[in-house]
A and B are shown apart, each in its own frame.
Chain A
């Protein structure tokens, strides 16, 4: 109980959850459009590197963020070309993008910076202090001082919810994920909407990557995403492909991880404690969430001329 009231637990929860939520939201857009996307890991990693490189070069973290997001989108574009134009297997292409990102970022890290790593003078994105929030009990301190990208998440979430369920674009995107033939029969260009979903996932994964490298840190190390893209995939599924669900799933995972970190150092062996978030996630999905339903046409390449 005492543990749960510790504001820092919630600070940790948030800092672990934020990149997961961004990436999972991105995945959600892509899959809502019917494109299975497991390339979040690679898009995050690419952006993590590119944002550091540009932030270091221009001494401006915002430019870093912008370029990072662009690089995420560029990876998404590459993914789309194979998945949507060449109708390649989406899972395989996703894996390819992840491998490619792992290789390219490491390769370029060596090429640009040698063995000294990214410059320590790299600026990072600002942390904002919103004093008026600190009055809230327990979670106030966690909310009142956060990276700007954490605050950005709130409008992004609202926008995601709004765009997906209130705008024509959202309706159309969802129709492509459920039954692209129906969208096509309404005269819509299937590929264009699917592309927009995948690109959004690139942008959002890009933000997630930048959060890791120039948001909370100011440097890049090889494979620094360390599987967060895959956990984001799990969060997206757990969240049942909805923005609100994704937020809860991300927060749950963040909370469990934070809890396991807080619990370390007690009598329980640390490795056992580290198992906690994973096992509890399994319990949650098996016991509480149960069956989740993906968009009906998720992962099926859309063939023109087939109805």
Chain B
């Protein structure tokens, strides 16, 4: 039992008691809350909702894949109004449970589940992937940072070959190739989201093949990617959250995914009664995804060029693909 803290801002006292009766349950995937990534962001959104809206919240971390269904069901059974499933990997479970509990509202992040009581938060991460890709491509082309070699090679370390990972990567490819179609991109998957030592050796392998800017889309395993880049004095691009704080001179930028925003917004809409079922798209246009501020060492001109592309994506002039090209 938690969540009776009165909200300090936002809600009035009358809506406060109503808010306190609004119960939100959050189920993480097996990555857990300290993944420095999207589980963590979802939790931040949840905490924000608790503090600002005064809703009652509960969180549970799945230890194994077989936890998904029982955990979702348990919240539904206990009369929670909104049950949030963090992550693509839980799509099957949400599909099943939402069907069985038509009076509970569900939110799934990163995949689309159909149903009158399911809100799917989908992130157009190909857009932010494109931006960081373009930034990397420009740095590569102009040798805009120290230690950039002449091999014109970039790296990507993915966690698994699944859509929420691959859309980032597809955008990244497009962004890099928009700058220099001849740039070489190495792509490897760790097949594991919480094994930083593994991420590290994968990154080392790409660095060995002369990659000097590495985009990590590997959750907890990605932390090792950043360390590897740092140790080899090359560069990394973070994912989901602004991961610059992990290695300030190494992580040149991050492809951000506003899971916290989406979570908060969905809870707020649920509380207000305006929550709609169906897919909700988060893109550059509504600040649902974005590029974290690049480090100051990067020449202004390059950053400006990327910001220009951002505008063009928003306006629809550039449409980054969601599929990785077959090499």
Contact = CB atoms under 8 A, between A and B. Distances in A.
B189 A270 contact: yes
Interface string A109-124: 1000111110010000
Given A115-B40, A212-B197, A12 B204 contact: yes
A8 B204 contact: yes
B201 A15 contact: yes
B58 interface: no
A221 B196 contact: yes
B196 A217 contact: yes
A6 B208 contact: yes
B191 interface: yes
Interface string A1-19: 0000011110110011000
Nearest to B246: A120
B192 interface: yes
A15 B196 contact: no
B188 A261 contact: yes
A194 B246 CA distance: 44
A127 B189 contact: no
A14 B186 CA distance: 22
A270 B195 contact: no
B89 interface: no
A128 B263 CA distance: 46
A12 B188 contact: no
A6 B189 CA distance: 21
Interface string B193-225: 011111011101101110000000000100110
A114 B43 CA distance: 12
Nearest to B224: A217
A226 B191 contact: no
Interface in B146-197: 161, 186-189, 191-192, 194-197
Given A219-B196, A221-B196, A224-B197, A271 B191 contact: yes
A6 B208 CA distance: 8
A115 B186 contact: no
Nearest to B220: A221
A258 B201 contact: yes
Nearest to A127: B231
B191 A217 contact: no
Contact of B223 (A114, A217, A258): A217
A116 B33 CA distance: 8
Interface residues of B, number: 35
A303 B186 CA distance: 58
Interface residues of A, number: 35
Interface in A219-235: 219, 221-224, 226
Nearest to B219: A221
B161 A117 contact: no
Given A217-B223, A217-B227, A221-B220, A11 B196 contact: no
A190 B201 CA distance: 42
Given A116-B34, A117-B36, A222 B194 contact: yes
A264 interface: yes
A188 B188 CA distance: 55
B76 to A, nearest CB: 24
Contact of B192 (A218, A226, A261, A265): A226
A117 B34 contact: yes
Contact of A226 (B187, B189, B195, B247): B195
A23 B125 CA distance: 41
A176 B189 CA distance: 46
A300 interface: no
Nearest to A225: B197
B258 interface: no
Contacts of A16: 201
A154 B125 CA distance: 47
B320 interface: no
B228 to A, nearest CB: 8
B194 A223 contact: yes
B202 A261 contact: yes
B87 interface: no
Contacts of B209: 8, 262
A219 B247 CA distance: 13
Contacts of A148: none
A265 B34 contact: no
A259 to B, nearest CB: 10
A144 B194 CA distance: 30
A219 to B, nearest CB: 6
Interface of A: 6-9, 11-12, 15-16, 109, 113-117, 120, 127, 212, 216-219, 221-224, 226, 257-258, 261-262, 264-265, 270-271, 274
Interface of B: 32-36, 40, 43, 161, 186-189, 191-192, 194-198, 200-202, 204-205, 207-209, 220, 223-224, 227, 231, 245-247
16 contacts: A8-B209, A11-B204, A114-B34, A116-B40, A120-B245, A216-B200, A217-B200, A218-B227, A221-B34, A222-B194, A226-B192, A262-B208, A264-B188, A264-B202, A264-B205, A265-B188
Given A115-B33, A115-B43, 17 more contacts: A6-B208, A8-B205, A8-B209, A15-B204, A16-B201, A217-B223, A219-B196, A221-B35, A221-B195, A222-B32, A257-B201, A258-B201, A261-B188, A261-B201, A261-B202, A265-B188, A270-B188
